[in-house]
Structure 1
Amino acid sequence: MTQEEQPLPRSGSSALAAGALVQAVLGAEFVLAGLNKLADPQYPAHFRDFVTSSLGVMGGPLAALMRTLVLPNVTAMAQVARFTELGAGVVLVLVAAEVARRRLGGRPGARHGYEPIVALAGALAALVVAGLSLTIYLLQGGTLPRVSPGLAFGAPVAIELFNVPIALAVAWLELGRYLALRRAAVQEPRPPARRRVVPAVVAVLLLVALAACGGGSASAVQPAGTTKVTMSEFKFEPNAIDVKSGSTLFLVNGGSAAHDLVVADGSGAVKARSSLVQAGDSTTFAIGDLPAGGYQVYCDVPGHKAAGMTGTLTVS
């Protein structure tokens, strides 16, 4: 057997299968996200609230696009968003299943003429997923990951940002498969064409390894002696907070948009303000030595207070 006739090493086949598993998980995430939006009867209204209250509408690279295109057509854009999310997820899952099929022996794993188109569809779907994830992250006012003591037990990288390199790596993988399969349609497969798939697979696997270190979970361990307050669209849980003067709150953002917590007295004067907590993150918030009494709390992100994200704080 000559060097050009040598088959793809078994390790290459295994790496391709591992990359397909990552692709299937990413696709399943977006399928579930799309189905959740379909199950929400008030989704267009919630989409409008999310966009109008997002920091990215006030400023940033997407502000002009949001104000000129999305907000004037917000209902139609809501439908585009959820069906695009669902459709891209379904394509990624089906393409991953096709990769798994090719590992079977005999007729079930036979080569078919449609395979290059399937691989190209997978690459395009992955690019769509990367674009959607980056758009959501920028709308939430996301910045580059940073070192923060408030993230000691939280996710250091928001899932929306983490999805971007994963999706781009999947797109690279599927584009490599497309090029290799297209050449194989007119001639016998050649190792150089196949080997070009390997760097993309390696990139996917490296990113998966990073997931174990940095992808993180949105869950966080509550520091001892703190009072937990969960923030979401558009409420605090609990809505009535009882603490002693000098206490520390543990703020957990369980929603899909960035939130903060402001403490104001009866006249509306701000007495304490937390940092902005990104979706899925958490932080501690020392309210200081406030005098005993009743206070108002609210989220100061534009539009959130008006949407009902308020509560009370009783200090004893």
Structure 2
Amino acid sequence: MPSGSDKKSAKAIKAASKTGTRNKGGVPSSVGSGKRRQIPWLTVAASVVVIALIGALAWNLVPKYQDRAEAQRFAPTEENQDPSTGIDGVVMQDYPAALHVTGSQRVAYDQSPPFGGPHDQVWANCMGTVYPDGLRTENAVHSLEHGAVWIAYNPDDLSEDQISTLAAKVENQQYMLMSAYPGLDSPISLQSWGHQLKLDSVDDPRIDHFIAALRLNRYAYPEVGASCSTTPETFDQDNPPPFDGSAPGPDAVPMSGEGLTPDASETGAGQLPGGLGLPTDGLPTDGAAVPTP
């Protein structure tokens, strides 16, 4: 018969065998079980992708919302009719409106680029138009009278990428136009009727502020409700009158408009010279409704 000590040894061995299959917390040990815990790599990878997408969206969208909110600070209101007065560097000048010259006449402008005064009877197309070269100033000034903002730049001062950055602010934006301006004394110059802002950098936030404050600002331009569209018969935007950087001759029309009679037809805002009808796409449809007097 087994002795008492033999019985105790057998019980100890049996207990040790059971304990070896469990860890300290009473959970079955993986050792000897033939099973290992699996890491859910597919779930981890999917989570990483989702987090990356959220981060990318935030990176791209948040600055746009911030820029939009910032631009809204410069939107004109009844109480603040000319928010450009809060933009550092804006030059302002009063000019008489509706003084027209013919396509063969020059105007002795007092500013370069000009931003008001006598101008051609035909406006330059300003339906988000980016002209690859210089543009006749007399036509561009008429566009300002219709509520457009004109971005001019010195082609010798900006790279192709910088020009593209400016163009992105104009393309598909009604009542905007852009053109080269050879000899400009700053890299960039923004014009609206009676307002100008010269800048050095395409990344200057004042560009957006100026546009928000003065594009179609009913309080700041003469011919409210006028179109920015043109017809090929009046102005060919694919072959526009070229820029002329030479000094106006002695027969140039003075800034006073002496000898000119204000065009009474402009009281009807939006009539093309010669009585031609407006194109049907002449008014903005992107949320910037044409102001009414």
Q: Same fold (TM over 0.5)?
A: no
> Smaller-chain TM-score range?
under 0.3
Higher helix share: 1
TM-score w.r.t. length of structure 1: 0.22
Q: TM-score, normalised by structure 2?
A: 0.23
Structure of larger gyration radius: 2
